[in-house]
Amino acid sequence: MVDFAGWSMPVQYTSIVSEHLGTREGVGLFDVSHMGRITIKGDRAADWLESILTRQVRDLSVGRSRYTLITGVDSTHETVHLSGDPVILDDAIVARLGNFEDGGQQFSLVVNASNRPRVVRWLKACLPQEGVSLHDITEETAMIAVQGPQVFGCDQEGVLAGPLANIFSPEILGKIAALKNYGVLGAEFDGKPVLVSRSGYTGEDGVEIIVSAEIAVMLWERLLEHSMTKPCGLGSRDTLRLEAAMPLYGHELCETTDPFSAGLGFAVNIDGRDFPGSDGIRARRTTGNRCRVGLVFDSRRAARSGDQVLLSQDGIESVCGEITSGSFSPTTERGIALAVVDRAVSKPGQELKVLVRGVQLPVKVVSLPFYRRSP
Amino acid sequence: MEKSRRYAKSHEWARLEDDGSVTIGISAYAVEALTDLVFMQLPDVGSTVTAGESFGEIESVKAVSDLYAPISGKVISVNTELPSQLETLNNDPYDSGWIISVQPVAVEQLDALFDQEAYDKLIGG
């Protein structure tokens, strides 16, 4: 068990590789309760979020979610100085849960554990006088991710037979199975409301379930009763998301990242919209000359965040980029890495080198993701 | 009589052989703590190792760890098959999982290492 942003979490239950492969082949179960869960409601909630998030929410329908960045003023103490320069505080998933007859809207925001304190401080400091209320419900709730090709697997009669069948009625299970990617719906478990999202951080099909804390253990144990389900820790969570080329705050992005150089342009709706720091991001869009690539090593060795990427030309090595995340990839049995490099060397097939603990290892640029699940 | 192993605080073991050479590896405790081994970097035959200094690296999915020489000497043999068969470390870390064999500079350096009882206590056995 390790300390992860103040939470005690397992790196692995058995082994990282077996948990990784278990998720790619069957079902992996992840306790992701450490992540921040925030609800936002009121008759000005949509307008307020529209002005605050890098991604627009005006056109986000009920039952839909999307990936966004949260820009704002960083703070290490209780008072946020609103006049400070905004930076990227976190990445997040925003979901519209409901529109109500009285004109109110309800949203959820799921953020990283490590950034939760400053994100909540920032958002609360920006709340208008009326029309929006915000609650950090992290500690009253838990979140469990159920991921893998067998989550929606069927038995011989074509009936959904994955671990969710231990939890939900066939009718609800059918509705969950019909959700599109990033769709969200409210359901019930043990008489209590749960939120189910067709999303995840592994590159596999599956769901993330938010439940109230009192029934979390029962939900976990019920899911584990299924023969194909394997509990998975932080280690495999990282190797799985890396193969799926999914970003991790602190690696692919941080406070001052240019989203357009980091492969995160899609997370920023900047045309005709403003949000904190939008002018700065807009200005960087034309001057940035780097982009995100995937690198594959020809050995099992891995590079790590910060390792330099080198271009060999006429016998001279020059630095052309930097690793943002790297690891051994159990699915390909090779080292893989995400990196930000000069645009000129970013084409798939380009041969480069990475300086790993003093040794230059050859790599090749590949198109992303490293792993894509079968449809 | 089974030859006894001595251990470094950093979980490497050393065993004095009949011919005066010292075989070096890592303990079952270390292998267990590492899990998911993916790579090993070993020294060349003929190179020098110095007590307390790194002579190679072992990489798991999560991290890279240095291998520290428990004693000083010259490398006379390397288990070159080991990096491609890392499961051997899980199965048999004290025999077929040996890592290097060293001609020691001073055999007395072994006395500064933990004996089995002291090592077992160190790892909480």
Contact B20, B87 (CB under 8 A): no
Average pLDDT over residues A188-195: 92
**Per residue in A334-353, pLDDT tens?**
999 999 999 999 999 999 99
> What pLDDT is attached to residue B29?
94
Which tokens belong to B30? 């270390």
Q: Which of A24-33, A139-148, A234-243, B56-65 has the lowest mean pLDDT?
A: B56-65
Q: pTM for the full model?
A: 0.91
The chain-wide mean pLDDT, for chain B, equals: 93
Q: With 70 as the cut, is the pLDDT of residue B2 above it? A: no
Question: Does a structural domain hold residue B84?
Answer: yes
Beta bridge partners of B13: B7, B25
pLDDT bin (cut points 50, 70, 90) of residue A16 is very high
Region of A14 (left: φ > 0; alpha: ψ -120 to 50; beta: rest) is alpha
Give the residue from chain B lying closest to A238, CA to CA.
Answer: B62
Which tokens belong to A174? 């059918």
> What pLDDT is attached to residue A284?
81
Helix (H) or strand (E) run with residue A257 in it: none
Question: Does a structural domain hold residue B123?
Answer: no
Question: Does a structural domain hold residue B121?
Answer: no
- Name every chain B residue with its beta carbon within 8 A of the beta carbon of A239: 61
Contact A157, A169 (CB under 8 A): no
Q: Is the peptide bond before A369 cis (omega within 30 degrees of 0)?
A: yes
Cβ neighbors of A117 (< 8 A, separation 6 or more) are none
> What pLDDT is attached to residue A283?
85
> What pLDDT is attached to residue A76?
76
Contact A124, A132 (CB under 8 A): no
Tell me the shortest Cα–Cα distance from A234 to chain B, in angstroms: 10
pLDDT bin (cut points 50, 70, 90) of residue A84 is confident
Mutate to test the interface with B, among A17, A333, A354 (most CBs of B within 10 A): A17
SS3 at position A305: coil
- Considering CB atoms only, which of B39, B59, B62 is closest to A16? B62
| DSSP annotation string for A89-155 | EEEEEEEEEEE-TTS-EEEEEEE-GGGHHHHHHHHHHH--SSS-EEEE-GGGEEEEEEESTTTT-B-
Is the ipTM beyond the 0.90 threshold?
no
Question: Does a structural domain hold residue B20?
Answer: yes
d(CA A331, CA A326): 14
Average pLDDT over residues B5-27: 96
Tell me if B61 and A328 make a contact (CB, 8 A cut-off). Answer: yes
CATH code (residue B55): 2.40.50.100
d(CA B57, CA B76): 18
Tell me if A328 and B35 make a contact (CB, 8 A cut-off). Answer: no
Tell me if B59 and A235 make a contact (CB, 8 A cut-off). Answer: no
- Name every chain A residue with its beta carbon within 8 A of the beta carbon of B39: 299-301, 328
Average pLDDT over residues A50-67: 97
> What pLDDT is attached to residue A375?
77
SS3 at position B61: coil
pLDDT bin (cut points 50, 70, 90) of residue A77 is confident
> What pLDDT is attached to residue B62?
83
Q: With 90 as the cut, is the pLDDT of residue A372 above it? A: yes
- Indicate the domain borders of chain A: 1-287, 289-366
Structurally, chain B folds into a number of domains equal to: 1
**Per residue in A97-145, pLDDT tens?**
999 888 899 999 999 999 999 999 999 999 999 999 999 999 999 999 9
Average pLDDT over residues B93-107: 96
Tell me if B62 and A301 make a contact (CB, 8 A cut-off). Answer: no
Question: Does a structural domain hold residue B57?
Answer: yes
Question: Does a structural domain hold residue B118?
Answer: no
Tell me if A301 and B35 make a contact (CB, 8 A cut-off). Answer: no
Give the residue from chain A lying closest to B38, CA to CA.
Answer: A300
d(CA A67, CA A222): 30
> What pLDDT is attached to residue A102?
86
Judged by a CB distance cut-off of 8 A, whether residue B121 touches chain A is no
d(CA A328, CA B39): 9
Tell me the shortest Cα–Cα distance from A280 to chain B, in angstroms: 36
Helix (H) or strand (E) run with residue A289 in it: none
> What pLDDT is attached to residue A259?
95
CATH class belonging to A289-366 = mainly beta
d(CA A97, CA A186): 8
Higher pLDDT pick, B35 / B109: B109
Mutate to test the interface with A, among B37, B62, B87 (most CBs of A within 10 A): B62
One-letter amino acid for residue B43 of the chain: P
Judged by a CB distance cut-off of 8 A, whether residue B40 touches chain A is no
Strand A334-342 with A290-297, pairing? antiparallel
Mutate to test the interface with B, among A15, A237, A240 (most CBs of B within 10 A): A15
Tell me if B39 and A300 make a contact (CB, 8 A cut-off). Answer: yes
Q: What is the CATH number of domain A1-287?
A: 3.30.1360.120
Question: Does a structural domain hold residue B110?
Answer: no
Where in the sequence is the domain holding B78, given as residue range(s)?
A: 5-105
Question: Does a structural domain hold residue B111?
Answer: no
Judged by a CB distance cut-off of 8 A, whether residue A328 touches chain B is yes
